[in-house]
Chain A
């Protein structure tokens, strides 16, 4: 890799980093507005036009609050917990392909932080590290409620990671690759009537797997109906009971970054990533419109980035929509759903996919 392309890649990494922080920031605002609208309320509309400066106000508030350390808390671990939660949340967006390759003459820019052929495994590894942030924070707080929340988080994440992994195996059996870019490119449809592009998306080939995946994604990101680690009716605040000021903010923020990453992974795996309907008609149109081939290609790729982000935003909206619709599960119901329903369903899905591949119904 030349120095120049390394520089471009560094820029892409920085942009991805910034964008995921920005989206997480505005998720806090969006969550409150969506919650308000779903409940016939107005939501934050005081800070700036339509309350758009609300995240800034929240940040100022969190930074200026008192930093509180509970007595008997392990100070180093107490600080390390939220840091770890945030680091792992941010690391996982590195391998997500947000777009195809931009071309400027001989320079090629991959709109993806790092392209590795085990991208899916990388994400799984990082996401499963995320639970340590919660575990360490809850343990170091020296508080029963925090500890209970942390233990709940750990057991919940382990249970749902299993079902999630099994649901993904069916996708990987079809794609034959762990690279997220390859999986995206395989969901491109070439030829025929091009609105059928969307039928190349894995969600139409793996509907059962998709449902299992999305349920597990809710559990992995600790969102309602599976937000038992921070179940305020039972555990005060769960693992972040003892946290205040920006350390608390980091935990809340990490949750939104996780939601962003989960929806990004979901759109790559099941909704065709940066593919969009009528994309080749659009490319033809751009070429005929008299643009240089490079620019036609770049516009075509940038539309893909837009499509990818629209899918991500729709996913985030769905996460919030569900949060303000469904009540929380009871803990035994959560465990029963994970172990006795989702895992057998996921195994059945693998068998079904294997059978269909063997008999050549799907490729």
Chain B
């Protein structure tokens, strides 16, 4: 039968030569190989990522922990329209809407806002459909944070206290800036090569 790849090597069972039977040359060969690895490990950068100090870089399109964005003036963008909750295939999002009172214009962007907004991280499948559904660019999945493990199931229900990003612009999530089409193409390219 014709071989498919022509790469198969035909092996013949020959009696071992004296050098092979003596076993020692083979040992020294093996020792030299491991020694090369020893010096490689001792001198070159190792492939190991020392976890708490170093982290494996996330993909730029990674969908991690949610964030509720503020606008340029630090007002919450969410208007509690409920489109994210409708879009959510895992039914992880619940919210209660409320009306903005007088004097709260610096807190909430529009007249309606979310009094409570909860995402159950045990239900969430991190598909990002809420992000796509949001007409106000309020909810985003961060590319650099994961929902951390907890001991109690209650602690996985994230309320506004843990979802809304801090007021100080320096501490805000980098995610949520609208991408230009070129940037989006670049990200897609990175995702394909990664």
Interface residues of A (CB under 8 A from B): 34, 36-42, 45, 211, 321-322, 324-326
Contacts and interface: CB of A to CB of B under 8 A. Distances in A.
Contact of A321 (B31, B40, B46): B31
A347 B38 CA distance: 37
B59 interface: no
A345 to B, nearest CB: 11
Contact of A41 (B31, B33, B35, B48): B48
Contacts of B35: 38, 321
A325 B50 contact: no
Contacts of A322: 27, 31
Contact of B46 (A41, A211, A324, A326): A41
Given A37-B37, A40-B47, A325 B30 contact: yes
A38 B37 contact: yes
Nearest to A43: B41
B46 A42 contact: yes
Interface string B16-43: 0000000010010011011101101110
Interface of B: 24, 27, 30-31, 33-35, 37-38, 40-42, 46-48, 50
Contacts, number: 40
Contact of A37 (B24, B27, B33, B42): B42
A322 B26 CA distance: 12
B192 to A, nearest CB: 29
Nearest to A46: B50
Given A36-B41, A37-B42, A41-B41, A321 B34 contact: yes
A326 B30 contact: yes
Contact of A326 (B27, B40, B41, B47): B27
A45 B40 CA distance: 18
A51 to B, nearest CB: 12
A40 B30 contact: no
A211 B23 CA distance: 12
A105 to B, nearest CB: 46
Contacts of B40: 40
Contacts of B37: 37-40
**Which of B35, B37, B41, B47 has the most A CB atoms < 10 Å from its CB?**
B41
14 contacts: A37-B37, A37-B38, A37-B41, A37-B42, A38-B38, A40-B40, A40-B46, A41-B41, A42-B48, A321-B31, A321-B35, A322-B27, A325-B27, A325-B31
A39 B24 CA distance: 22
Given A41-B41, A41-B46, A326-B27, 10 more contacts: A34-B38, A40-B46, A42-B46, A42-B48, A45-B50, A322-B27, A324-B34, A325-B30, A325-B31, A326-B30
A322 B42 CA distance: 18
Nearest to B27: A326
Contact of A38 (B34, B46, B50): B34
Contacts of A42: 46, 48, 50
Nearest to B52: A46
A210 to B, nearest CB: 12
A36 B40 CA distance: 12
Contact of B41 (A40, A45, A321): A40
